[in-house]
């Protein structure tokens, strides 16, 4: 038996039912902590998502049947990996298939913040637009601006290629480790430069885009002190994970105009968004849409299905993280 914690594309649910005794979530209602514990106790495998938090207590259930947690997504910060390992449960994810869509949304947020497109759309919808004029709602061109990328994995490099080739931006990046590049098509632009420290990148970037995983080390990586390092005209983009940014510090930086704006697709207290963030005109807010295309969600489901099939057949899964 396999428990699927959220509603998935119809084609993926049909394949799950074909291969397993699949218990689907027809109402798409998030499962409670007790229901998640029951899934680990009763099912052979669980196909979970970022909305499902698996703590050490979940893995400590006295009678546990589950062999695998197949995560629908790349980030696994919602799963206590150490507890999963100790319990002998394999954890997998779905890397690679969501790179392009997430990079596209990051690029869109750069354009929306620099060109003030969100403000313009809201102004028009309220009926407040009085017509074209030379100095109306002037934004900034991305061309010639410096994009600083924090984390240079697949998504960070995909954004770098887009920003360089399509928008004419200079790209610099920082990461604590050398990135794993599979080939020329997976690399960043040749002109991209590596910066020695995160602080140096923040000081010298017009746009800062976050593409690092959520870990204990990256929680509040962007805090009040680091926001102070950014130029006052700079904008912050986050399509990674919400807790990488101290959102209360971000609100203060926006209020004091320490930075010029922000484009966010993820939030520290998701799905709650701080009311102050919603009040800033210079902030673009999206409801976690980075991978929201039918093509990518189907590909993510297919990847999770492959991982489930491998583990439950006694084989090594292609995308094991723990």
Residues serving a catalytic function are 241, 270, 288
| Among 291, 294, 300, CA closest to 106 | 291
Cβ(103)–Cβ(110) below 8 Å: no
**Would strands 146-150 and 170-174 be described as parallel, antiparallel, or unpaired?**
parallel
Cβ(119)–Cβ(113) below 8 Å: no
**Would strands 2-4 and 22-23 be described as parallel, antiparallel, or unpaired?**
parallel
DSSP 52: -
SS3 232: coil
Pairwise CA distance, residues 24 & 243, whole Å: 30
SS3 303: helix
37-60 as b/e, with b when 16 or more CB fall inside 10 Å?
Answer: bebbebbbbbbbbbebebeeebbe
Pairwise CA distance, residues 234 & 145, whole Å: 10
User: Torsions phi, psi of 271, nearest 5?
Assistant: -85, 5
Classify residue 141 by burial, with Cβ atoms within 10 Å: 0-12, 13-18, 19+. Answer: exposed
């Amino acid at each position: 038996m396999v428990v699927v914690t959220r509603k998935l594309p119809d084609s993926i649910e049909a394949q799950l039912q074909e291969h397993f005794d699949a218990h689907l979530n027809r109402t798409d209602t998030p499962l409670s902590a007790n229901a998640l514990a029951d899934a680990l106790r009763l099912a052979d495998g669980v196909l979970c998502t970022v909305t499902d938090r698996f703590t050490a207590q979940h893995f400590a259930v006295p009678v546990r049947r589950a062999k695998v947690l197949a995560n629908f997504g790349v980030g696994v910060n919602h799963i206590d990996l150490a507890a999963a390992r100790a319990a002998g449960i394999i954890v997998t994810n779905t890397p690679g298939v969501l790179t392009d869509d997430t990079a596209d949304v990051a690029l869109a947020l750069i354009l929306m913040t620099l060109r003030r497109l969100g403000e313009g759309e809201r102004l028009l919808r309220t009926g407040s637009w009085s017509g074209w004029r030379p100095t109306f709602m002037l934004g900034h061109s991305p061309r010639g601006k410096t994009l600083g990328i924090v984390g240079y994995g697949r998504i960070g490099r995909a954004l770098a290629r887009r920003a360089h080739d399509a928008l004419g931006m200079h790209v610099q990046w920082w990461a604590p480790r050398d990135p794993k590049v599979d080939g020329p098509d997976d690399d960043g632009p040749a002109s991209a430069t590596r910066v020695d420290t995160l602080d140096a990148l923040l000081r010298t970037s017009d746009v800062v885009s976050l593409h690092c995983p959520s870990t204990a080390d990256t929680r509040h990586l962007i805090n009040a002190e680091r926001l102070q390092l950014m130029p006052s005209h700079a904008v912050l983009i986050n399509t990674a994970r919400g807790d990488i940014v101290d959102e209360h510090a971000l609100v203060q930086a926006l209020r004091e105009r320490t930075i010029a704006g922000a484009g966010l697709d993820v939030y520290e207290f998701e799905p709650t968004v701080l009311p102050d963030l919603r009040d800033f005109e210079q902030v673009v807010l999206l409801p976690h849409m980075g991978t929201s295309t039918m093509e990518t969600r189907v590909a993510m489901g297919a990847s999770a299905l492959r991982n489930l099939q491998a583990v439950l057949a006694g084989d090594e899964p292609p995308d094991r993280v723990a």
